[in-house]
Structure 1
Amino acid sequence: MDLADLLDAPGDREPLLTVREAHAVLRLLQPVAGGGGEEALAADEMMVRLAQRVPGPPA
């Protein structure tokens, strides 16, 4: 499973994350991305990738 599987619904399946949930994840990742270490790098990468896929401004 990759990021596309979370946000896009192939066929008639529902996406695993709604746009609202994706925006909430972005807000939750901000403090982690601001830290140090591998977790911060992973959180920052996820924020960038997720923000590129999620339409509209955060709710």
Structure 2
Amino acid sequence: MTNQEAIELIGGGTNGEQEQYWLDLGCGTGTFTEALATVLPAHSNITGVDKTTNSFRRK
């Protein structure tokens, strides 16, 4: 899945202007996590969790 496909999958599920808190279970390489970071309002928080260490590196 590409970042753009993940953004389209999220669609309007992040509506609102207040900060939001998300938990991405099984984040893998972080495609969905990065897509969330693209569409969430400022100061939102995303926690990515995966059973494989170092699968998602913060940029």
TM-score, normalization by structure 2: 0.25
CA radius of gyration, larger in: 1
In proportion to residue count, which structure has more strand? Answer: 2
In proportion to residue count, which structure has more helix? Answer: 1
Greater RCO (CA < 8 Å, at least 6 residues apart): 2
TM-score, normalization by structure 1: 0.25
